[in-house]
Structures are given as C-alpha cells and as structure tokens.
Amino acid sequence: MLRRILLSTLFLATAMSSSAWADPTPDAVANMINNAGEQIGTVELFSGPAGTLLRLDVRDLAPGPKAIHLHAVGTCDDHDHGFTDSGGHINPDGNEHGLLNPDGPGAGDLPNFRVDEFGYAWAEFFTSLASLDGSVGAHILDEDGAAIVIHENPDDHMSQPIGGAGDRIACGVIEASD
C-alpha cells in the first residue's frame, strides 16, 4: 500500500512539474548581440498587471557587475559603433536618471546584474515604470520600438545621464512574440 501511495505521489509530482509549473510564453523577446554583431543571449519580457517582468539569459560577457537599461529606439544596427542609434533611456516624463535619485527614476532604469567568472548571467527584473502596451508606465513597443542595452560597468543609480555605466556592450531590439 505504501509503495502504491509513493508511486502515485511521484506520478502526480511529475505531472505537475511538466504542466502546471511550465514557464509562460514571453510576450516579447530581445535577441542580444555584442559589438561584433554576434548573438549572446536573450531577454524575454512578460506583461503583468502592474508592469513588466524581464528575464535575462546571456553569455560571453566580461565578468562583474553590469548596468542594463531600456532604450527609447528599437535598433541595434550600429553594433560596430556602440549601439548609439538606440538613443537614450525610455523616459517620457523627463525624470532624472537613477533608481536612487530623488528626481528619478526614468522609465528605462533597471537594477544592475552580475556576470559570473565564466561570462554567463541569468537574472530577472521587474519594472512598474514601463509596459509593452503602455497600459502601465511608459510604452515600450511604441512607433519606434525600444531596445535593451547592457553597459560595461554597473549603474550607480544617481549620476547623469547613465549612472557611470560606461560603454554599451550588448543590445537587443524588443520584438513582440508571435
């Protein structure tokens, strides 16, 4: 009898893990490229009732803390020129930069993340300052789109205009999922 209960419990746990706990399909994805134009990972975006969840999965970056921001223009075509065509951070209200700034933050400001000693990073961020459809905060997928940009250094969350984050080392155009 005990064996039957254990087997039933194992079957139920397996069934739940394969269906009830499955990852949701992202509402948008950014394929991240480096300055050489090579794909290094993705950022998946999920719409929520109070904002947007971003799931980062990247490789082949220098170890250490990095800044990440939502940029106002959906292009990464100028990878060999530092992704400057993606413009500044999403910031329709004209707030100062920085999550710790009393006159901020801008809608594109996000927390830092860390790349491990093997060049890999996985992180999740949540922002209530922007949404894909503009229903919460700034509109990410507006007429000129948006990009996610990773910088070489961490953001101090105060300095203008980018928190001392340094050069742009990776970029991904945010595109709605099919």
In a domain, 108, yes or no: yes
In a domain, 2, yes or no: no
Give the chain's domain count: 1
In a domain, 10, yes or no: no
In a domain, 80, yes or no: yes
Provide the pLDDT for residue 170.
Answer: 98
Q: What is the pTM of this model?
A: 0.86
Q: What are 2-28's pLDDT values in tens digits? A: 334 333 333 334 344 444 445 789 999
Instruction: State the residue range of the domain holding 49.
Output: 22-176
Provide the pLDDT for residue 165.
Answer: 94
Hey, what's the torsion of the CAs at 61, 131, 74, 76, to 10 degrees?
0
Q: What are 130-146's pLDDT values in tens digits? A: 999 999 999 999 999 99
Provide the pLDDT for residue 4.
Answer: 40
From first to last of its 178 residues, what are the pLDDT tens digits of the chain?
Answer: 433 433 333 333 434 444 444 578 999 999 999 999 999 999 999 999 999 999 999 999 999 999 999 999 999 999 999 999 999 999 999 999 999 999 999 999 999 999 999 999 999 999 999 999 999 999 999 999 999 999 999 999 999 989 999 999 999 999 999 7
In a domain, 5, yes or no: no
In a domain, 69, yes or no: yes
Alpha-carbon torsion (88, 94, 96, 98), positive or negative: negative
CATH number at residue 62: 2.60.40.200
In a domain, 30, yes or no: yes
In a domain, 87, yes or no: yes
